[in-house]
Amino acid sequence: MENVKFGNSNLNISGKTLEGSVALVTGGSAGIGFGAAKQLAEAGAFVYIVSRRQKQIEEAAARLGPSVRGIAVDVTNKEDLKRLAETIQKDHGGLDIVFANAGGGRPIALEELTEGDIDHLLGVNIKGVIFTVQTMLPILKDGSSIILNASITADMGLPGFSVYAATKAAVRSLARSWTTDLKHRHIRVNTVSPGVVPTEGYRTEQKMTEEQVSDYAQRVTSEIPVGRVGTPEDIGNAVVFLASDSSSFITGIDLVVDGGQTRVYQGKN
């Protein structure tokens, strides 16, 4: 314990910075989770990806290559997560990185929001994140890095997304509290807050057509200083940074990865 430090000061965010590390990415069969798993594996980590549907998660792992394994897990189910922790412990002896990413939401008018909608959103976006981190704690090595996926909606009003946005504000808050809860184990906890990243979820969860996604991406681009929407790999790069020793003096923060969208005035001059 005495020798465990918050990483080292070897600044190198390119190349195989995560060689020898073992990572878990929840919601890894699609979208941001898939992109993050790709970047983590490219940085040298062995990556476990999980999501609910077995066929999709196994296919995703096969696409990502031999240093990625896919396992069917529902993050709202503690028994699934316990089995996962046992498997990781048995096969790799523990974990160095957790990216609790599984989640999502769709626009629902306040007047139409049902109890079932609220339970679903809180279930996957908050309970699922808590269960993931809590269940992995016994196998997380001292000095490891936990990254939670929040969202820029945590501090922006967005029509129809009030409960979703509130769950993401909760995720940011969990990270700050866990930073103190886990400091005796030198475990860092940070969040990433993606901006607009058109993923499978826009079609499956938000029920947008291909054309609607492309129109939306085009419209929103004028609000983004870097002049484009985000990709899952953009978020993956931020996750690799927060997972690596290059960020060893960073904990408890929210890293906004939105091309500057929420950093600039969006009104008309």
Ligand X SMILES: NC(=O)c1ccc[n+]([C@@H]2O[C@H](COP(=O)([O-])OP(=O)(O)OC[C@H]3O[C@@H](n4cnc5c(N)ncnc54)[C@H](OP(=O)(O)O)[C@@H]3O)[C@@H](O)[C@H]2O)c1
Q: Which residues are identified as catalytic?
A: 164
Nearer to ligand X, 12 or 214 (CB): 214
Enumerate the H helices of the chain as residue ranges: 31-42, 54-64, 78-92, 115-122, 128-136, 162-181, 200-204, 210-221, 232-243
Region from 10-18, 136-144, 193-201, 247-255 binding ligand X, contact rule CB under 6 A = 193-201
Query: Phi and psi at residue 54, in whole multiples of 5°?
Result: -60, -50
Find the shortest distance in angstroms from Cβ 205 to ligand X: 5
**With binding defined as CB under 6 A, does residue 129 bind ligand X?**
no
Find the shortest distance in angstroms from Cβ 106 to ligand X: 10
**With binding defined as CB under 6 A, does residue 149 bind ligand X?**
yes
**With binding defined as CB under 6 A, does residue 236 bind ligand X?**
no
Query: Is residue 169 a contact partner of residue 126, using CB atoms and an 8 Å limit?
Result: no
- The residue type found at 231 is T
- Of 204, 208, 105, 189, the C-alpha closest to 153 is 105
- The Cα-based distances of 67 to 25, 62, 145, 240 in angstroms read 13, 9, 19, 16
Region from 31-39, 108-116, 219-227, 241-249 binding ligand X, contact rule CB under 6 A = 31-39
Helix axes 31-42, 232-243, angle to 10 degrees: 50
Q: Which of 27, 70, 143, 236 binds ligand X (CB under 6 A)?
A: 27
Nearer to ligand X, 18 or 37 (CB): 37
Q: Three-state DSSP class for 267?
A: coil
Place of tokens 């969040």: 191
Residues 73-102 that bind ligand X (CB under 6 A): 73-76, 101-102
**With binding defined as CB under 6 A, does residue 104 bind ligand X?**
yes
**With binding defined as CB under 6 A, does residue 52 bind ligand X?**
yes
Q: Which of 7, 18, 22, 26 binds ligand X (CB under 6 A)?
A: 26
In the complex, which residues of this chain contact ligand X (CB under 6 A)?
A: 26-33, 50-53, 56, 73-76, 101-104, 124, 128, 149, 151, 194, 196-197, 199-201, 204-205
